[in-house]
Amino acid sequence: MRTVIAALGLCAVLANPAATAAQEPPPAPPVDWGPMSINLEDVPYPHPVNYFSFTLEGQDVRMAYMDAAPSATPNGKSVVLLHGMNFFGEAWTETIAILRKEGYRVVVPDQIGYGRSSKPILHYSISTHSSNTKRLLDHLGITTTDIVTHSMGGMVASRFASSYPQTVANLAMINQIGLTDARDARPWRETSEVYKAALARDYGEIVKGMRAYYVTWKPDYMKYVKIHYGWTRSGDWPRMAMVRALQQQAIYADPVASDWPRIKARTLVIGGEKDGPDYPGGARRVAASVQRGQVYIIPNVGHNPQFEAPDLLYPPLLKFLRGEDVGAGSGTR
């Protein structure tokens, strides 16, 4: 296992508490913020959205996905981008553009229960999302691919890479969650209890959750606060709240730590240092557990380096996808 810590030059806003405070989220939502679709029809995606239909636990569902062709000379490879729990395919907009310029075909699904995909009430699991991803790749005729993930997507990819090892060439997991078995830290909660808490979600809780993702808040991040808050004002919010509760139960009940030793693909565990109490320690454990692991830690950055520090994230990520070790490079901004 190789571990790299990127050197980070602190930007002026971090050194200026007044400037940081000026960028904090407003204490109340703007008065013109209204309901938003739980299926994101009112959120533009960067590429055409296609739909793959199948039956899941007896229910007819549609899986939304983008399939973006290279914008430069094709390199003959594909990359699948797997989103986190509080995001969806659209959140990969910049990543898609960068990978297309590198010659990749980029496939970006919305998992069932997320984004523009169906929102059925059913028993979700990490295995559900993994097998649905395999269904989509089979539908597209993709037999081998690289995978890049964020947050919960790292759990899905861990299950996917251990279940379908022949399908994954390179695996990069950005600030994945599930670094430990959550059942060791807290007891099981009834789904009705989790649903009640999800249903009561309000602007303040949404802001608090989103703010925790970053070392330095930027006004651009309000875009996702607006979407999550808009869901709570939708007539479909009870369904969305239940789907969110069921997804939270899946994360708790279907840990992936035992999957890591079976992952044969070259694996990069990469992310912001300031994510939770000990992301670097957890990241190193994952990289040490997989068969061919590397670690790259970005200091003074939180859970979403693709937004907060793209200039520090993408160079080592692309280097890894090209088949190189991340080496001893440093990043500044």
- Examine residue 327 and state whether it is found in any structural domain, yes or no: no
pTM for this prediction: 0.93
Q: Which domain holds residue 211?
A: 2-178+192-321
Contact 3, 327 (CB under 8 A): no
- Examine residue 161 and state whether it is found in any structural domain, yes or no: yes
Compare 123 and 10 and report the one with higher pLDDT: 123
Q: What is the pLDDT of residue 97?
A: 98
Reference 255, options 281, 212, 223, 289; nearest CA is: 289
- CA dist 108 to 115, 118, 153, 203, Å? 11, 15, 11, 29
Q: Phi and psi of 315, rounded to 5°? A: -60, -50
- Examine residue 329 and state whether it is found in any structural domain, yes or no: no
The answer, yes or no, to whether residue 12 has pLDDT greater than 50, is: no
Q: What is the pLDDT of residue 327?
A: 56
The answer, yes or no, to whether residue 293 has pLDDT greater than 50, is: yes
- Examine residue 331 and state whether it is found in any structural domain, yes or no: no
- Examine residue 187 and state whether it is found in any structural domain, yes or no: no
- Examine residue 86 and state whether it is found in any structural domain, yes or no: yes
The answer, yes or no, to whether residue 8 has pLDDT greater than 80, is: no
Percentage above 70 pLDDT, the chain? 91
Across 170-190, average pLDDT: 96
Q: What is the pLDDT of residue 14?
A: 37
Domains contained in the chain, number: 1
The answer, yes or no, to whether residue 10 has pLDDT greater than 80, is: no
Across the chain, what does the average pLDDT equal?
92
What sign has the CA pseudo-torsion 277, 283, 288, 294?
Answer: negative
Across 193-210, average pLDDT: 97
- Examine residue 183 and state whether it is found in any structural domain, yes or no: no
- Greatest C-alpha distance within the chain: 56
C-alpha to C-alpha distance for 298 and 279, rounded to whole angstroms: 11
* CATH number of residue 161's parent domain: 3.40.50.1820
Q: Which residues pair with 148 in a beta bridge?
A: 81, 172
Quickly state the pLDDT bin for 21 (edges 50, 70, 90): very low
Q: Which residues pair with 266 in a beta bridge?
A: 170, 292
> pLDDT tens digits, residue range 181-190?
999 999 999 9
> pLDDT tens digits, residue range 69-120?
999 999 999 999 999 999 999 999 999 999 999 999 999 999 999 999 999 9
> pLDDT tens digits, residue range 126-135?
999 999 999 9
- Examine residue 85 and state whether it is found in any structural domain, yes or no: yes
The answer, yes or no, to whether residue 23 has pLDDT greater than 80, is: no
